[in-house]
Structure 1
């Protein structure tokens, strides 16, 4: 099976799973990336499954078109296993960076294949920085596109004017570029200037996010501006108590009005609780 075929399968599976998520709210919540779901409940599958969900059709179409166009040239340089390695490592790496940055914001959630797609894009740039990329109708060199994209992402992280997981983009991009260099070491010798032009500001910004988040108005593991720090045990116990209170209310409702009086959400909560 060629990397091109694998790309089409990835797109098909992502479209099907995303469509299921559009229609089924409980399915969406079960597989989305969530800080507390990963940290407190160790639901590590969400690091991968969230990449097959999207917020809406525009989000899905944009990511899949980007994957389709950029994966073509990347698949010619790498074998199917290498392509899949870059795709999923970038997806997981992007989510891990988000997990680190938002470690103290347990309700933070995100979905989308953006981290994986960015990994594929920047792997392609590392291997062929002078390839022509069509930005809408504007042709530009790959390394110029990469630099502009990193600049836009840094601005997005700093401004916080949208709900896009820009941090996952940065993490995925750097993982994709690093893996491409590891798989094709000659690329570093041939394209080191372009790689450094993109990598230096990106890594410097990631360092700032982690060590000096107050500059970016972000709460994370190393800095917490808005609230006292709660340990993972405190958060776990607080959540457990809250969940038990909710279940007690549901059971009390059943005893008074019968199980048919429960809403769909209450039935799902009871079902989920019974599995623990």
Structure 2
């Protein structure tokens, strides 16, 4: 079993029971007042619960394809534990800015693996920027998707009102790129070479 599949199975095993158990989901999602009371585990557990089946499916579908694509590369550098650590770190890194911005907001809640999935996706894009991605069956170069995704996340985050943590998407993506570059600095020059050579 791949590590990516293991992460998907664990996430589904936690998320699915939460669909019909509001009490459980409230214990696991990210809620700043609870964190302030010492429930720091929420920095991690919120990444394993989802609002509904569509939310879970989209994140796990994306993780399945791109996690498998980068897993072997990451494991060759930092081992299996390192890859799991990278993913969990993505969950945490993506939510910290939201916590700092909303730490006194009792109405703020966040959940989902989107931050970690963005980390995986953008680490992949750094390594293979011209790979074709299919967005709603439309073929799009990975680097173009990254630019549009980033621009949309910034715009939508400033606009607000859609109950989506766009900040987590952005910070998760940034974390994925920075982590990959620290792990293998040669990815930076290779990325630029691929962009210029197109």
Structure-1-length-normalised TM-score = 0.66
Contact 1:34–1:109 at 8 Å: present in 2 too?
Answer: yes
Distance 1:24 1:121 in 2: 30
Counterpart of 1:28 in structure 2 is 25
State the match for 1:17 in structure 2: 14
1:130 & 1:178 partners in 2: Cα distance?
19
Unaligned runs of 5+ in 2: none
Equivalent residues, number: 191
1:70 aligned onto 2:74: no
Secondary structure of the equivalent of 1:140?
Answer: strand
The alignment yields a C-alpha RMSD, in angstroms, of 1.7
Match of 1:250 in 2: none
The answer on whether the counterparts of 1:36 and 1:107 sit within 8 Å (CA) in structure 2 is no
Larger radius of gyration: 1
For the residue of structure 1 that corresponds to 2:118, the secondary structure is helix
Query: Secondary structure in 1 aligned to 2:2?
Result: helix
Conserved in 1, the CA contact under 8 Å of 2:33 and 2:104?
A: no
3-state SS of paired residue (1:139): strand
Q: Which residue of 2 aligns with 1:129?
A: 129
C-alpha change, 1:193 and 1:99, in structure 2 (3 Å) is farther
What residue number does 1:171 align with? 171
Which structure would you say has the larger RCO, counting Cα contacts within 8 Å and 6 or more residues apart?
A: 2
Q: Secondary structure at the residue paired with 1:109? A: coil
1:193 offset after TM fit, Å? 7.8
- Unmatched segments (≥5 aa) in structure 1: 196-276
- Displacement after TM superposition at 1:41 (Å): 0.6
Paired with 2:142 and 2:158, the residues of 1 have a C-alpha distance of 24
**1:6 and 2:3 matched:** yes
CA distance in 2, matches of 1:82, 1:121: 17
Aligned to 1:60: 56
Tell me how far apart the structure 2 counterparts of residues 77 and 187 of structure 1 sit (CA, whole Å).
12
The alignment's TM-score, normalised by the length of structure 2, stands at 0.90
Q: Residue by residue, what CA displacement relative to the aligned partner does 1:211-235 show, whole Å, maximum 9, x if unpaired?
A: xxxxxxxxxxxxxxxxxxxxxxxxx
Distance 1:28 1:160 in 2: 23
Q: Quote the residue 2:40 is aligned against.
A: 44
Contact 1:127–1:181 under 8 Å retained in 2: no
Q: Conserved in 1, the CA contact under 8 Å of 2:51 and 2:111?
A: yes
Quote the Cα distance in structure 2 between the aligned partners of 1:104 and 1:147.
Answer: 32
Displacement of 1:11: 0.8
Assess, with a 3 A threshold, how the Cα gap between structure 1 residues 139 and 31 changes in structure 2: closer, same or farther: same
**Secondary structure in 2 matching 1:33:** coil
When residues 112 and 193 of structure 1 are mapped into structure 2, their CA distance, relative to the original with a 3 A threshold, is: farther
